[in-house]
Chain A
Amino acid sequence: MSSLLKNIIRFVFFILVQAFVLDKVPPLHQYVKPIFYFLFILWLPFNINRSWQMIIAFVFGLCLDYFSGTPGLHSIPCVLIAYLRPFLLSILLPRETTETSYAEPSIKSLGTVPYGVYILLLTFIHNSCLVFIEWLQFGDFVFFIGKVAATTGVSLLLIFVTELLFPRKAKYRTNAA
Chain B
Amino acid sequence: MRNIFLFIRRFFNLLLFFVLQGTAIYILATYNKTHQAFFASAANEVTGSISSKYNAVDYYFRLKQTNDQLAAENARLHNELSTSFQNPDTAHVLKIDSLLTDTLHRIRKFNFLEAKVVNNSISDENNYMTVHRGALQGVKNGMSVIGPDGIVGRVIQVSDNYSRVMSLLNHKSQVSAMLKRGFYQGIINWDGKDPQYIQLRGIPKSAQVRKGDSVLTSNLSGIFPPELMVGTIAGIDSDPSTSFYILNIKTATNFSTVQYVYLTENLLGEEQEKLEAKTPKD
Which residues on the B side are within 8 Å of A83 (C-beta)? 13, 17
Q: Which residue of B lies closest to A137 (CB)?
A: B171
Main secondary structure of the interface of B (DSSP, over half): helix
Q: C-beta contact mask, A99-112 vs B, less than 8 Å → 1, else 0?
A: 00000000000000
The answer to the question of B128 belonging to the interface, with a C-beta cut-off of 8 Å to chain A, is yes
The answer to the question of B16 belonging to the interface, with a C-beta cut-off of 8 Å to chain A, is yes
Q: Is the CB of B193 within 8 A of A51?
A: no
Which one of A39-47, A53-61, A114-122, A159-167 is at the B interface? A53-61
The answer to the question of B164 belonging to the interface, with a C-beta cut-off of 8 Å to chain A, is yes
Q: Is the CB of A54 within 8 A of B20?
A: yes
Q: Is the CB of A133 within 8 A of B28?
A: yes
Q: Is the CB of B28 within 8 A of A23?
A: no
Q: C-beta contact mask, B13-54 vs A, less than 8 Å → 1, else 0?
A: 100110011011111110110000110100110110001001
Task: Please tell me which one of the listed residues B23, B24, B125, B256 contacts residue A26 in the complex, with CB atoms under 8 A apart.
Answer: B256
Q: Is the CB of A73 within 8 A of B28?
A: yes
Q: Looking at chain A, what size class is its interface with the partner chain?
A: 20 to 34
Q: Which residue of A lies closest to B24 (CB)?
A: A75
Which residues on the A side are within 8 Å of B126 (C-beta)? 69-70
Q: What residues make up the interface of B, taking CB atoms closer than 8 Å to A?
A: 12-13, 16-17, 20-21, 23-29, 31-32, 37-38, 40, 43-44, 46-47, 51, 54, 58, 119, 121-128, 164, 171, 192-195, 256
The answer to the question of A5 belonging to the interface, with a C-beta cut-off of 8 Å to chain B, is no
Docked CA distance A61–B26 (Å): 15
Contact sample, A vs B, 25 pairs, CB 8 Å cutoff: A24-B58, A25-B123, A26-B122, A26-B123, A26-B256, A27-B195, A50-B13, A54-B16, A55-B16, A66-B37, A67-B119, A68-B121, A69-B121, A69-B124, A69-B127, A69-B128, A72-B26, A72-B27, A75-B27, A76-B21, A76-B28, A79-B21, A137-B32, A138-B171, A139-B192
Q: Is the CB of B17 within 8 A of A66?
A: no
Q: Is the CB of B125 within 8 A of A23?
A: no
